[in-house]
Structure 1
Amino acid sequence: MKTKNKFEYVPVVLQWVLNIALIVLALILVIFLGKETIYIFGFIKEGGDLNKLDLLEGILIYFLYFEFIALIIKYFEAKHHFPLRYFIYIGITAIIRLIIIDHESPVDTLIYAGAILVLVFTLFLANTRHLKRDN
């Protein structure tokens, strides 16, 4: 007879804790996505008391929330696996937001653009047949 190890249930319990934490995080992100939607439509409806740069920043934050929620959905669909592609999409969007917000230094902007180029190349590699694990 096989004896049961007293630690064999630890990964199962930790997986449940992770799943519950991700569900709570997804709910929080949905709330913030809703607030960002109200912010964006309030800006458009009222004629905007903010400048266009603030609107663009709000739209990019909206996409970041959307991408994080999509990442959590994909995690559960892929049986507890985070696809690398989604992290790269989030990174590209975050750097674009950073360029829009902080574009005072041309050297910094060039470095950010180079980082986007590296991420796009990484995305190309991640989507090759040999490295692609999810459908």
Structure 2
Amino acid sequence: MSQQNKNNWQDLRITLLQFALNIALILLAISLCALLGKEIIFFIQVSIFNPELEIHYELLERILNFFLYFEFIAMVVKYFKEDYHFPIRYFLYIGITAMIRLIIVYHENPVNTLLYSFSILVLIVSFYIMNSSTARKGKL
């Protein structure tokens, strides 16, 4: 097989895989939009039909789920805008939000809560290092 045929075959495989990835991300975005809509309907039902209902932790959990869905949808949009690239800061944002949700929902065990807090600290320090001017210049 000649070098030209190998390159054509490799280009075709890359194109097919990129197409499959794009379709999967579009389907994921549609699913996330449906879940986001479900959360909005829940907020409307709670605020209009049951304003005196006391569901503090469930409401906080649903609000954080809402933001997680929103962040994932924004990440998929950013993927297409950035020419098929996921910025690492989006993963850090989602990780921090997910860990905060975990602390709010599962806060019975103090040791686990402390470990979750340390993981948030690690994510924040990672974000700081990534955005520091010395890291951008390659001096770190």
Looking at structure 1, the residues matched to 92 and 83 of structure 2 have their Cα atoms a distance apart, in angstroms, of 20
Contact kept, 8 Å, 1:85 with 1:127, in 2: the verdict is no
User: 1:128, CA displacement in angstroms?
Assistant: 2.9
- How much has 1:131 moved relative to structure 2? 4.5
Distance 2:10 2:120 in 1: 43
1:3 matched to which residue of 2? Answer: 4
Q: Calculate percent identity across the aligned residue pairs.
A: 47
Aligned residues: 132
Match of residue 16, structure 2, among 9, 13, 32: 13
5+ long unaligned stretches in structure 2: none
Equivalents in 2 of 1:48, 1:93: separation in Å? 28
2:63 to 52, 59, 63: 59
CA RMSD of aligned residues (A): 1.8
Structure-2 separation of matches of 1:48 and 1:120: 37
Larger Cα-atom Rg: 2
CA distance in 1, matches of 2:112, 2:136: 32
Question: Structure 2 length as normaliser, TM-score?
Answer: 0.87
User: Residues 64-79 of structure 1 correspond to what in structure 2 (within 5 A)?
Assistant: 64-79=68-83
- Stretches of structure 1 that go unaligned for 5 or more consecutive residues are none
The alignment status of 1:116 with 2:120, answered yes or no, reads yes
Which residue, out of 29, 35, 38, partners 2:38? 35
TM-score (norm 1): 0.90
Once the two structures are overlaid, the 10-residue window that deviates more, 38-47 or 109-118, is 38-47
